[in-house]
Structure 1
Amino acid sequence: MKTPRKGRTALAILAPLFAAAMLFLLPAAQAEEEASEQVEEIVVTGSYIKGTPEDAPLPVTTLTREDLANEGTPTVLDLIKNLSFSQGADGETDQFQAGAGADRATVNIRGLGPSRSLVLVNGRRTTWSPHAIGAQAQLLVDVNVIPSVAIERIEILRDGAAATYGSDAIAGVMNFITRRDFVGFEASANHKMIDDSDGDTEAGLIWGTELADGRGHLVSSFSYIERGELTLSDRDWAILPYADSPTGGWSSVGRPSVVVPLSRWNAFPIGGFVGLLATGIVDPNCERLGGARTTVGIAGNTLGGFCRFQYTAFDNIAEEAERWQWLTEGTWEVNDTTTLSASFLMTDSDVPAWNTSPSYPPNRLVDENRTIRANNPGLVDMASKYPDLYGDMAHCGEAYCRYAGDPTQDAAGIPTAWQDVAWFYGRYYGQDGPLRDHARENDLQRLEVALDGTRGDYDWQVSAVYSQSERLSLGGDTMVYRDARARQGLGGFDCEAQVPNEYDENGNLSFSLETVMAHAGQGPCRYWIPFSNSMAGSHPQVRDGTASNPDFNPALNNRELLEYMVTELGGTGETSLFVLEGVFGGPLPWTLAGGNVSFAAGAHWRHETYESGPFDINNFDLFPCAAGPEIKDCTSNRNGLFGFLPPSTDIDQDRDIYAVFGEMQLPLSETVEGQLSVRYEDYGSATGASVDPKAAIRWQATPSIGLRASVGTTFRGPTLNQTVADDSSNSLQYIAQTGAFKRVDTKGNPDLEPEEATTLNVGLLVDHDGLIARDDNLFVTLDYWSYDFKKPLVTEPYTAVLATACNPGCDPSGPYFNRLTFGGPPSATNLEIIDINIVNGPDIETDGIDFTARYEFGAGPGIATVGLTGTRILGYDIGSWVLGGAYDALGSMNYGTSLARTLVEWKGRVILNYNVGPANIRYNANYVDEYERDTADITVEEQWTHDLHVTYRFLSERLELSASVLNISDEDPPFTGVEMNYDAFTHNPFGRMIKVGLTYTTGG
């Protein structure tokens, strides 16, 4: 993939600076020396003024490297999933809820949305991953980009921070602090064992040295992560019979197809979609091949119905993935007052085979052109086996072929054998497979150069950061014109070369009867067969070599047409971010009762770019018409070449954002400290500008008890992809009225207003030594928080658009009717496509309580710790708007809406820890509250899971061994009844896992 064009200038500026810095550092390399320990104030997340986390008036959670080691060195994703104040984070594979995220992960503070939590590296921004979350159309920062071996600590601000960091910090901030002062060498490796999978493996290296007697420093780290595939079929709770979980991955559009004789076509549209299928013939091998037969009734007729297909049998819980990361950082003391620093981060993530079902259902479920001729070889063969079902439609001159012709077609001069006799309902590849696997690739490069210095009592800093991210996303779909050719016996690459496409005067694909009679099923031309006699067996049987369909006819196998009909498509996405920032701070000539007032002020400029481009085959500008690649001008079927996935066009957007900011630290007394901050940020254009103030205060009431409070405003402008009216992304959503997944196209909006929120936090802190014994410590934090969220950027819920347009009938004069595309008379059952827009949605009010309690005391030869941490959400109220009334989203899965993800009332954990010398033992009990699946009468049960971590250090603490048992009791995730039968945002699908690790270090 290429470097984004607009990023090349920034890269050209920064690359020589980085190279010069590294060359300046390396010649002065000296022998390793033990770094002297220093105690100093640092810049804490949420402020540009130096201090310590303990003294901050803001709610900051700090996770040190030792904390992570005692937890068995979790991945960043595992860490985020265990944070009580993060709900609905991406990470696990789930192409239905989370879209095509694959190997990306996010943090979702307060459940307000992944892109509303700002992610920083050493206090500075990095660019988005180019592929937006399908349901919310939000670009996000992938937190998987940092090598875990390089992380010194993670600071999480659980409060809005636009006054300090600007846009995107609506919910809070996650700041990764790296081991920039490491000296020595460290190697680590760990492996997580998961049943039915090769598990997860991670290896890391870090090396650091001082330069020129401590004047400089150089650290380089490398991490490699490999994840094994785990299929959904490997978990018995995931693949359930239709009767047990009818919405658990079952589609009404299956294979083998349901066949409706054209003589019964009059049931449609009089009897509607259900009436049509009630007159159909379900393939007699439907259930033998893994389908589920269900009947539909109209006027007492229950002969027809569906042959349902379980598409999730082809999907994965975890995709095979490979990721490597490299980070190099250097510092050099230019003189006694100035330090130059530089860093370069590179990460590469590959998912070689993102598994999904063999084919999509056709968008037009009811298509009068999807017909079968009387001499179709599959029909003739089935008629010989089941004459009572198919004999009246087949024509072959044998006793079991009883079709005598249709007067209308006879009058048109069509020979009996070549007449259309039936319409079929189904997909082109299904139970028999094979699954489709498509690659996903994500790359990121980040380059940072900074100068830090002092001038008297004042500190200053200037920095430049350039980051770029690239994504390749592949998929597959059926070409409309090729499936039309194959139905007529003209399928295959060689056949298409020999028998070119023919079109009528309107540009529609239309072969003459003479062409069809001369070539159908002859030579290189093949039929696609909709019946079970073209299927060797269901997918697991075919894969395992135990095919068991006695009616299979190898001569009718459709596999030879697979590559012809299902074509790979996709595209690339690129983002870049170039940030210039300067900060200056120190004491002011003002003195309050507690001491001198200090300040920090700065200016910020950033340039953002977003580019996306389809492959030629799915580029609307090149191939706009479904009829075939030769047709460039068509009045109908202007949906590109493919039957389900829409085409797209090249997008190239950029913008400049300017900001100035300042803050003051006010020592009001020896025990009271205040903080005032404000930021002005200008997006230009329709988004405009925003001024966001914030005030915070902390009162140390006693040596052991402190109170803190903060209030401020935050905002977030739309990401670049959300502002492009021509940018149409798509997702697949289950539409109950059709019994199938349908395409939902999401379009940008250049007139979006920024989101705004007012945040409040009031907290109590207790840090008391000697509560019971002289060597004990009690640490407690209790924070009440609230967010008053205005004009959130959301996609219109497709369920609400459909319900408003078809309530109960689909009235062409009604609201939102023009957003629906139908494959027949307007009705919800004939729906093909729903168009939705990105809009400013209804107001959201949420509040809750975070709590932490930890008691540490001497016990025998060691130190014991008992802890409790958790979050109780008190309310999550979504206001009324044009697409729906007000409702309470708390305690709900919020399935089928873009306004919220799963929100549980209680989430937390109990911690028991014992440390004695080189050994540490930790037990965690993790709790997730019950909630309701709001679109069905299902209560998702509460869940307790239990983890045990043991670490032991020896060889003068240079070698550390660790072992963990995660989910000791092997709990299955609670049943949800959605596609994968569990909630990927909330629960662990892997069962019991055993993890072992080893770390060897010579430094620190």
Structure 2
Amino acid sequence: MKTPRKGRTALAILAPLFAAAMLFLLPAAQAEEEASEQVEEIVVTGSYIKGTPEDAPLPVTTLTREDLANEGTPTVLDLIKNLSFSQGADGETDQFQAGAGADRATVNIRGLGPSRSLVLVNGRRTTWSPHAIGAQAQLLVDVNVIPSVAIERIEILRDGAAATYGSDAIAGVMNFITRRDFVGFEATANHKMIDDYDGDTEAGLIWGTELADGRGHLVSSFSYIERGELTLSDRDWAILPYADSPTGGWSSVGRPSVVVPLDRWEAFPVGGFVGLLATGIVDPNCERLGGARTTVGIAGNTLGGFCRFQYTAFDNIAEEAERWQWLTEGTWEVNDTTTLSASFLMTDSDVPAWNTSPSYPPNRLVDENRTIRANNPGLVDMASKYPDLYGDMAHCGEAYCRYAGDPTQDAAGIPTAWQDVAWFYGRYYGQDGPLRDHARENDLQRLEVALDGTRGDYDWQLSAVYSQSERLSLGGDTMVYRDARARQGLGGFDCEAQVPNEYDENGNLSFSLETVMAHAGQGPCRYWIPFSNSMAGSHPQVRDGTASNPDFNPALNNRELLEYMVTELGGTGETSLFVLEGVFGGPLPWTLAGGNVSFAAGAHWRHETYESGPFDINNFDLFPCAAGPEIKDCTSNRNGLFGFLPPSTDIDQDRDIYAVFGEMQLPLSETVEGQLSVRYEDYGSATGASVDPKAAIRWQATPSIGLRASVGTTFRGPTLNQTVADDSSNSLQYIAQTGAFKRVDTKGNPDLEPEEATTLNVGLLVDHDGLIARDDNLFVTLDYWSYDFKKPLVTEPYTAVLATACNPGCDPSGPYFNRLTFGGPPSATNLEIIDINIVNGPDIETDGIDFTARYEFGAGPGIATVGLTGTRILGYDIGSWVLGGAYDALGSMNYGTSLARTLVEWKGRVILNYNVGPANIRYNANYVDEYERDTADITVEEQWTHDLHVTYRFLSERLELSASVLNISDEDPPFTGVEMNYDAFTHNPFGRMIKVGLTYTPGGCSS
């Protein structure tokens, strides 16, 4: 992939600065045996004025390196899933709820959406990961980019922060602070063991040294992560029979196909696929090969039905993946008042085989052109085995072939053997496999250079950060014209070279009967066969299938057409972010009862770019027509070459954003401290500008009890992909009226307004020593929070668009009718594609309570801790709008809508910890409340899981060993009845996990 021109300019500016800084440091490098003690000054997340989280008037959760070690050094994803105030985060593989997993993870504070939580590295931004979450069209920041060995602490601001950081901090901020002062060497390794799974392995190294008698500092860290593959079929709760979970990954479009004789089609008056399939013939090997035969709900009808296909048997719970990360940071004291710092971060993620269903269903389920001729070799072979089912349609020289011709086709001069006799309903590859596997690759480079200095009592800082991320996504689909060729016996690369495509006067693919009769099934030309006799057996991952199909005819094997039928397509995406920022602060010449007023003020400019480009084969500008690659101008079927996935075009967008901001710290008295901040940020164009103020106060009522409160406004502008009308992303969504997944195309909107929110937080803090015993401590926080959210950026819910356009009939003059593409007469059952837009959606109001209680006391030779932390959401109300009425999203999975994800009322954990000398033992009991699957009468049960972590330090604390058992009782995730039968946003699909790890620091270290 190419580097954007603006990106190259930014790198050209920053790279020499970084190189010069590193070269300046290295010649003076001197190994240090011990690290000198330094007093660390901290700028707390949520403010530009130095302080500590404990004294801040804002609700900041801090997780130190020791906290993480006592939890068995969890991955960032595991950490996020255990945070009570984060719900609906991405991370686990799930192609259906969001599609962001496999190699990326997000934080979702308050469940407001992953792109509404700002992610920072040492207080500064990094770029988005290209390619949006399909269902919500949101670009996201991947939180997996920092080597875990380099993390000193994580600060999470649970409050809106646009007044400080600008756009994207609607819900809050997650700030990764690195070990930039580390001295020494440290190596870490851990491995997580899971049944039926190779497990997860992580190794990390960090090295740091002081330079020139402490004048400089250099730290470099590296991490490598390897993840194994775990298939959905490895879990008995995930792949269930149709009767137990009819929406658990079952499609009505199966393999082998259902065949509808043309005379029955014409005689049966019911339209749509339900009426047609009521007259069809379900392949006799449907259930033997792992399908589910179901009838069609038409009273008095005993024919036909579906051969259902369970596509999730080919999907994974965890994808094979590897990721490496490298971070190097350096500082140099230029003089007594100025420090130069630089850092460079690289990360690369590779998913070599993202597994999915063998093929998509055809977009047009009811297609009068999807016919079978009387002499089709598959039909003739099935007639020889099942003459009662197929004999009346087959034509051959044997007695079991009883087809004698159709008067209409006879009159047209079509020979009996070449007459159409049936229509079929099914997909190209199914229970027999093979599964499709497509790669995902993602990389990030981030370069930061900063100057920090003092001038008298004042601090100043200038910084420049450039980050760039690239992503490659591959997929596969069937070309429409190759499907048409193979059905007529003209399939195969060599056949296509020998028998070129033929077109009618309107540019539609149309072979003459003479061409078909001369070449179908002859020489290099092959038939694609819709019957079970083309299937050797079921794929091993198919439940209740068979490895050997007794009716298989090797001469009819469709595998020889696989590469011809299913073609790889895909595209690349790239984002970049260049940020320049200056901050100046210190005391003001004003004194209040508590002391001097201090301030911080600054200016900010950032340049964002977003590029995406398809491969040539799925580029609409190159191949706009389904009829074939030779056709460039067509009036119909302008959907590209592929039958299911849409084509794309090249997108190249950029913008500049300007901001100025200021903040004052007001010591109103010795016990009361206030904070005022405001930020003006200008997006230009239609998005416009926003002014966001915030006020916060903290009152230390007694030495042990404090009160805090904050109120402010916050906002988020649309990401660049959301503003491009020509940019169409797609997702696959289950449409109940069709019994199949259908394509949902999401288009950008240049007229979007920024979303806005007013946030409120009121909290109580207790930090009391000597409550019962002299050496005990009670720590309690209780915070009430609320968000009043206006004009949220959302995608129109596809279910609401369909319900509005077809209520109950699909009226061409009705609203949203032009958003639907049909494969027959306008009806919901004939639906092919739904077009939805990114819009400003309905108002959202949510509020709740965060609570933490921790009691620490001496117990024998050690220290015991009992803790409780959790969140209770009190309400999550979504207002009425043009696409639906008001509703309460709390306690619901919110399945099938883009307005919210899973939202449980209660989420939390109980913690028991005991530390004695070099040993630490921790027990966690994790709780997730029950909630409703709102589109079905299913209650997703509440769940308790239990974890145990043990760490022990040897060799004068140079060697630390850890062991963890996660989900001790091996609980399965609660049943949801969706595709994967569990909620990937909320629950653990792995069962019991055992994790072992070690950390080695020869000679000791300092950080």
Answer whether TM exceeds 0.5 for this pair.
Answer: yes
CA distance in 1, matches of 2:228, 2:302: 46
CA distance in 2, matches of 1:981, 1:732: 17
Tell me the equivalent position of 1:919.
919
Secondary structure of residue in 1 paired with 2:694: strand
Tell me the equivalent position of 1:786.
786
Name stretches of at least 5 consecutive residues in structure 2 with no aligned partner: none
Change (3 A) 1:451 1:680: same
CA distance in 1, matches of 2:465, 2:547: 58
The one-character-per-residue Cα deviations of 1:738-784 (angstroms, maximum 9, x if unpaired) are: 00000000000000000000000000000000000000000000000
Percent identity, aligned pairs only, is 99
Name stretches of at least 5 consecutive residues in structure 1 with no aligned partner: none
CA distance in 2, matches of 1:705, 1:818: 61
CA contact (8 A) 1:445 1:469 kept: yes
Measured after TM superposition, the shift of residue 42 of structure 1 is 1.3
Change (3 A) 1:269 1:733: farther
Measured after TM superposition, the shift of residue 38 of structure 1 is 3.2
Tell me the equivalent position of 2:813.
813
Change (3 A) 1:742 1:544: closer
The reply to whether residue 213 of structure 1 matches residue 240 of structure 2 is no
Measured after TM superposition, the shift of residue 298 of structure 1 is 2.8
The one-character-per-residue Cα deviations of 1:634-689 (angstroms, maximum 9, x if unpaired) are: 00000000000000000000000000000000000000000000000000000000
Measured after TM superposition, the shift of residue 299 of structure 1 is 4.8
CA distance in 2, matches of 1:41, 1:480: 63
CA contact (8 A) 2:912 2:923 kept: yes
CA contact (8 A) 2:582 2:603 kept: yes
The one-character-per-residue Cα deviations of 1:84-137 (angstroms, maximum 9, x if unpaired) are: 000000000000012153210000000000000000000000000001001110
Measured after TM superposition, the shift of residue 1001 of structure 1 is 1.1
CA distance in 2, matches of 1:268, 1:343: 71
CA distance in 1, matches of 2:586, 2:537: 75
Secondary structure of residue in 2 paired with 1:115: helix
Measured after TM superposition, the shift of residue 266 of structure 1 is 2.2
Measured after TM superposition, the shift of residue 269 of structure 1 is 6.2
The one-character-per-residue Cα deviations of 1:321-364 (angstroms, maximum 9, x if unpaired) are: 00000000000000000000000000000000000000000000
CA contact (8 A) 2:618 2:640 kept: yes
CA distance in 2, matches of 1:267, 1:812: 28
Measured after TM superposition, the shift of residue 301 of structure 1 is 1.2
Measured after TM superposition, the shift of residue 264 of structure 1 is 1.5
Tell me the equivalent position of 1:656.
656
Change (3 A) 1:671 1:545: closer
Change (3 A) 1:680 1:362: same
Secondary structure of residue in 2 paired with 1:517: helix
CA distance in 1, matches of 2:894, 2:544: 39
CA contact (8 A) 2:648 2:728 kept: yes
CA contact (8 A) 2:256 2:307 kept: yes
The one-character-per-residue Cα deviations of 1:432-460 (angstroms, maximum 9, x if unpaired) are: 00000000000000000000000000000
CA distance in 2, matches of 1:547, 1:922: 48
CA contact (8 A) 1:146 1:325 kept: yes
CA distance in 2, matches of 1:859, 1:867: 15
The one-character-per-residue Cα deviations of 1:447-476 (angstroms, maximum 9, x if unpaired) are: 000000000000000000000000000000
Secondary structure of residue in 1 paired with 2:285: coil
| 402-411 or 855-864, larger mean C-alpha shift | 402-411
CA contact (8 A) 1:504 1:510 kept: yes
CA contact (8 A) 2:288 2:545 kept: no
CA contact (8 A) 1:267 1:279 kept: no
Count, aligned residues: 1004
CA contact (8 A) 2:289 2:545 kept: no
Secondary structure of residue in 1 paired with 2:268: helix
CA distance in 2, matches of 1:808, 1:293: 28
Change (3 A) 1:813 1:329: same
| 421-430 or 267-276, larger mean C-alpha shift | 267-276
Tell me the equivalent position of 1:864.
864
CA distance in 2, matches of 1:947, 1:597: 47
CA distance in 2, matches of 1:542, 1:711: 55
Measured after TM superposition, the shift of residue 547 of structure 1 is 2.1
CA contact (8 A) 1:101 1:133 kept: no
Secondary structure of residue in 1 paired with 2:899: coil
Measured after TM superposition, the shift of residue 33 of structure 1 is 4.0
CA contact (8 A) 1:271 1:298 kept: no
Secondary structure of residue in 2 paired with 1:449: strand
Tell me the equivalent position of 2:563.
563
CA contact (8 A) 2:539 2:545 kept: no
CA contact (8 A) 1:534 1:554 kept: yes
CA contact (8 A) 2:538 2:545 kept: no
| 84-93 or 267-276, larger mean C-alpha shift | 267-276
Secondary structure of residue in 2 paired with 1:149: helix
The one-character-per-residue Cα deviations of 1:305-332 (angstroms, maximum 9, x if unpaired) are: 0000000000000000000000000000
CA distance in 1, matches of 2:378, 2:634: 33
Measured after TM superposition, the shift of residue 538 of structure 1 is 1.0
CA distance in 2, matches of 1:3, 1:952: 47
Measured after TM superposition, the shift of residue 40 of structure 1 is 4.4
The one-character-per-residue Cα deviations of 1:203-243 (angstroms, maximum 9, x if unpaired) are: 00000000000000000000000000000000000000000
CA distance in 1, matches of 2:962, 2:51: 34
The reply to whether residue 994 of structure 1 matches residue 994 of structure 2 is yes
CA distance in 1, matches of 2:882, 2:631: 40
CA distance in 1, matches of 2:864, 2:376: 77
Change (3 A) 1:529 1:26: same
CA contact (8 A) 1:788 1:844 kept: yes
TM-score relative to the length of structure 2: 0.99
Measured after TM superposition, the shift of residue 274 of structure 1 is 1.2
CA contact (8 A) 1:127 1:576 kept: yes
CA contact (8 A) 1:929 1:943 kept: yes
Measured after TM superposition, the shift of residue 871 of structure 1 is 0.2
CA contact (8 A) 1:580 1:604 kept: yes
CA contact (8 A) 2:447 2:465 kept: yes
| 651-660 or 98-107, larger mean C-alpha shift | 98-107
The one-character-per-residue Cα deviations of 1:682-702 (angstroms, maximum 9, x if unpaired) are: 000000000000000000000
CA distance in 2, matches of 1:446, 1:268: 64
CA distance in 2, matches of 1:36, 1:701: 38
The one-character-per-residue Cα deviations of 1:831-863 (angstroms, maximum 9, x if unpaired) are: 000000000000000000000000000000000
The reply to whether residue 43 of structure 1 matches residue 43 of structure 2 is yes
Tell me the equivalent position of 2:691.
691
CA contact (8 A) 1:183 1:1003 kept: no
CA distance in 2, matches of 1:802, 1:453: 59
The one-character-per-residue Cα deviations of 1:806-843 (angstroms, maximum 9, x if unpaired) are: 00111111100000000011110000000000000000
Measured after TM superposition, the shift of residue 5 of structure 1 is 2.5
CA distance in 2, matches of 1:182, 1:299: 75
| 96-105 or 642-651, larger mean C-alpha shift | 96-105
Secondary structure of residue in 1 paired with 2:504: coil
CA distance in 1, matches of 2:863, 2:494: 76
Tell me the equivalent position of 1:633.
633
CA distance in 2, matches of 1:797, 1:402: 51
Secondary structure of residue in 2 paired with 1:545: coil
CA distance in 2, matches of 1:328, 1:244: 53
Measured after TM superposition, the shift of residue 540 of structure 1 is 1.1
Secondary structure of residue in 1 paired with 2:6: helix
Tell me the equivalent position of 2:893.
893
CA contact (8 A) 2:313 2:541 kept: no
| 974-983 or 536-545, larger mean C-alpha shift | 536-545
CA distance in 2, matches of 1:639, 1:797: 22
The one-character-per-residue Cα deviations of 1:555-582 (angstroms, maximum 9, x if unpaired) are: 0000000000000000000000000000
Secondary structure of residue in 1 paired with 2:541: helix
Tell me the equivalent position of 1:322.
322
Secondary structure of residue in 1 paired with 2:606: strand
CA distance in 2, matches of 1:974, 1:223: 34
CA contact (8 A) 2:682 2:688 kept: yes
Change (3 A) 1:262 1:674: same
The residue correspondences of 1:676-825 to structure 2 (distance < 5 A) are 676-825=676-825
Secondary structure of residue in 2 paired with 1:550: coil
CA RMSD of aligned residues (A): 1.1
| 546-555 or 358-367, larger mean C-alpha shift | 546-555
Secondary structure of residue in 1 paired with 2:246: coil
Change (3 A) 1:480 1:269: farther
Secondary structure of residue in 2 paired with 1:297: coil
CA distance in 1, matches of 2:995, 2:84: 23
